[in-house]
Amino acid sequence: MPRKKKDSNDLDSSLNLPLRRMVVVEAPVWKRALALLADLVILDFIVLGAFNQIFNQLVPESSPFTIMQSIEQNSKILMLLSVTIFMIGLFMLAYFMVMEYMYGQTLGKMLFNIRVQPEAISWWQILVRNIAVLPVMPFVLLWVIDPLMLLFKKQRLSDQFAKTTVIEEIEVY
């Protein structure tokens, strides 16, 4: 007769060991910052890499002075650059929205074992908490406000509006 395989909970109870528990805490600022940095590196390869050829065709020169001269000489370049940068922002927003909706975390958050709560997050909440990736006024103001709020209040302004938090689950015995 085949032997019944014991799972770890049966083994813990048979050995009279303390059960493992998970404690949910707010994710530390340093983990959130490193997770965002990891996401930006991933997006740099995926999204910006795809648009690199477009940038090179629009402005082949690399110095800021020559870029400004090209824009002054041809106003179409400014419009095309603006549209391209906005499209990059949309792709970045899509990355954050899809990952957080499907998995509750982005690849960077997965790397640092943190996630967005509540688990049943709506598309609207995800949009509100990630709208800052769009390079459009007034959302670019969040590039300054959100980090300051995170440092001093431990929660970004966009998280407060979306009624979300970023958490970490810590295993305790």
Rounded Cα distance between 88 and 48, Å, is 7
Handedness of CA 37, 41, 46, 52 (dihedral sign): positive
**Cβ-Cβ contacts under 8 Å for 118 (sequence gap 6 or more):** 164
pLDDT at 100 over 90: yes
User: Domains of the chain: which residue ranges?
Assistant: 18-172
Residue 107's pLDDT is what?
94
C-beta separation of 114 from 167 below 8 A: yes
pLDDT at 47 over 90: no
Name the pLDDT band for 120 (thresholds 50, 70, 90): confident
- 77-99 average pLDDT score: 87
**Cβ-Cβ contacts under 8 Å for 85 (sequence gap 6 or more):** 135
Residue 10's pLDDT is what?
53
Single-letter residue type at 171:
E
- 12-32 average pLDDT score: 78
pLDDT at 69 over 80: no
pLDDT at 2 over 70: no
pLDDT at 64 over 50: yes
Rounded Cα distance between 76 and 29, Å, is 42
Could you read off the pLDDT of 121-168 as tens digits, one per residue? 899 999 999 888 887 788 778 888 888 888 888 888 888 889 999 989
